Amino acid sequence: MTILFYKYQGTGNDFIVIDNRNELFPKDNHLMISKMCDRKFGIGADGLLLLEKHSKVDFTMVYYNADGKLGSMCGNGGRCIVHFAKYLNIINEETVFEAVDGLHEASINNEIVSLKMNDVEDIQINTNSVFLNTGSPHHVEMVEDLKNYNVEEKGYLIRNNTYGKEGSNINFVEQVKTNLFAVRTYERGVEAETFSCGTGVTAVAIALFDTNMINANNVELQTEGGNLLVHFNKIGKAYQNIYLEGPAKQVFKGEWEC
């Protein structure tokens, strides 16, 4: 069997993207998915996305982590699959699709994709960190000298020792300017630092606002792979109308023999 795939990246967070509207992809072959994502023996990616049919909205997004297991919501993956849907002429400039955490609205203008995230209400503020779920669980922690920070070691320890088997994504943050913050993320499922994490920067923006680090409801986040914008409204204790904006690009396409 030959599988046609497309390689995408959103601020360096890279994905294998496959049109599975014919439902032929072997979704239970987790070992094959992890091999496809392997950077030395496969295509190489932080995760794999399937675009599938949906009876009521434009399409369904199914996301697998690089370890081959089904993942929680992926913000950059969501932006990339919107670009892919437009490439396939499934959508025009606006769309509604379903992911593991429910329905998402999105729009695309050239290669800039704006993705609406789900509302956030439950925010846990700890002594040195903030924990919240933006479709995926996120630990947010301010640090100094982020450029030289050992994200792999520190992220691994917090991900496993603090959050156990289920784990959490771990975000380390440093202020660059008044409304610009640098973020580096250790992602569960990848079990390594990625160049960017969409749900991660969304969590960082909300955490910064909730702890009075910023007073604006829009913030620019600088990741290793590029900059993303997050804006939102706070109504009571809830964060609503949360949007993640940034570039999504198709890099190449190819065939996988299985």
Question: What residues act catalytically?
Answer: 74, 197
Cα 211 to Cα 232: distance, rounded to the nearest angstrom? 15
Beta bridge partners of 50: 18, 62
Q: Name residue, tokens 């998915």.
A: 33
Phi and psi torsions of 57, nearest 5°? -115, -175
Using a 10 angstrom Cβ sphere, with 0-12 exposed, 13-18 middle and 19 or more buried, the burial of residue 138 is buried
Beta bridge partners of 103: 98
- Maximal CA-CA distance, the chain: 54
Cα 137 to Cα 232: distance, rounded to the nearest angstrom? 18
